[in-house]
Structure 1
Amino acid sequence: MTDSPYFSDVGGLPPQTQTLSSKAVFTTAYAVIPKSVMSDIVTSVLPHWSGTRAWILSRPLSGFAETFSQYIVEVKPGGGSVRPEPDRRAEAAIFVVEGEGSLTHEGVAHALRPGSFAYLPAGAAWSFANDGTVPIRFHWVRKAFKVVEGLDPPPAVFTHESDCAFDAMPGTDGRWGTTRFLDADDVRYDMHLNIVSFEPGASIPFMETHIMEHGLYVLEGKAVYRLNRDWVEVEAGDYMWLRSYCPQACYAGGPGRFRYLLYKDVNRHPDL
């Protein structure tokens, strides 16, 4: 595999000697799916994808988080799909954590490498191919796009983390901030996929409680995260899944940076 700053070591099976203790938990407010859960036996194969397996981390559940599904997808050399998305209502956000490949959208091929991001509007014609020599792994967020009368649909976006600005939170001296792949002021988008970064010692110093659902996949480092009434220690490769209004906070004690990929739904009225 190619060198990557993002955690991507999923798969395999634990030995029979491993203990059954785990921080995996599913509550009415949140779920924690640790990296130890993401073994070979929990993967899915997908229609019209070849040489591919996926870890489906979240899916819409009535009474829990209802807006999105998030996968880790692994595509072997020579694998891919010319019919990747079965639902024309679904928009896609893709973030690559390992390997190289190409995504073709509306007839134009875009090279992918670790740190590459793609946003694909609902109904877009696209295909995916691993034309390299090692597997490629990426996060794929799928969401049914919420159409707004009189609002143009959002355009596709292809970029890389290195080409996106890091926005520091006010009053943090740059120790806590966000890298945004989509324009936060563009109301045409109804979802965001960002990278949130903390330097050692930085924190979210209050209990965030809000309407947005979240998927948080830890890309680097470790921290303690407050989820509802519980403090949970998380590290690179762990996934947190939060329903609306789940109180949340974070303390990144170090020794290194703590970073996670963050999904949230935005810019729309709640359905009544």
Structure 2
Amino acid sequence: MTHTHVAAYPLSPPVRDRPQVAHPPAPGLQLLRFAAVMAMLLAAAAFLQSSFLTVSDIMITGTSRVSTDDILARSGLRVGQRLVTVDAARVVEHLTQHPWVAAARLDVSPAGRVIIRIQERVPYAALPYRDGHLLLDQTGVALAVVHGTPPVPVVVADGPALRWVRIGDRIPSASLLDAMRVLAALPEGEVTRGLRLRVDRAGSVMLTTVDDVTVLLGAPPGLIGRIVSLPQVLSAIRRQGLGVRYVDLRFAGSVILKQGAPPSRGGVRH
């Protein structure tokens, strides 16, 4: 018997198993797709510019001292105006020109609601000025002139007299800023209406409490440490009813108590 050997060769894969070769779309199809995308973009831009997107509602938050009517008038916004005309940066610039407005922000929704968020300045101290007092925020910005007893502590900073102050401006006084920093370091329970604090040209600090106890705190070196001891000293004086009207804390490690009026420079004059 004769055996015949047949060489084996790999068979070509079926047509359906062959990898598909991607063919680039015809130039005409590419142009058609590009035209469709551009048409959609132009339509979207036209819609944004149309009268369909308008300010539907204006809400103002964060105000307690400034009227919402004043805020709305300063913003220049109105219901019905096109959203595309709302310039948030310009609105914020106008609003922060108000003396009582520390910061402002606009939130604008695609539905047309505009929220104006206001952060107001808070009266922190009062500075004697002419026949009244200037209300100041913690950074020394003049907020208003009040007459009678101010609702916040009174600070006096020795130096040139204030001839003229524009409401909304920051008082240009280094001594005043020193006084504000001292006020911020005082025990929270003492910082209230009726407190009087004075800083002289050398930076020496003196205060008179609501119950008319005058305290000499002295010069800046070591001042914070003396302020820390203040609550304990005042608490002991009040608890024991000693009738002390004058406390000297200027000297490290000692507390000098005196009854009656302090020396001639002991009171805070304004």
TM-score range, shorter chain: under 0.3
Q: Tell me the TM-score normalized by structure 1.
A: 0.23
Higher RCO, 1 vs 2 (CA within 8 Å, ≥6 residues apart) = 1
Q: Tell me the TM-score normalized by structure 2.
A: 0.23
Largest Rg, 1 or 2: 2
Structure showing the higher helix proportion among its residues: 2
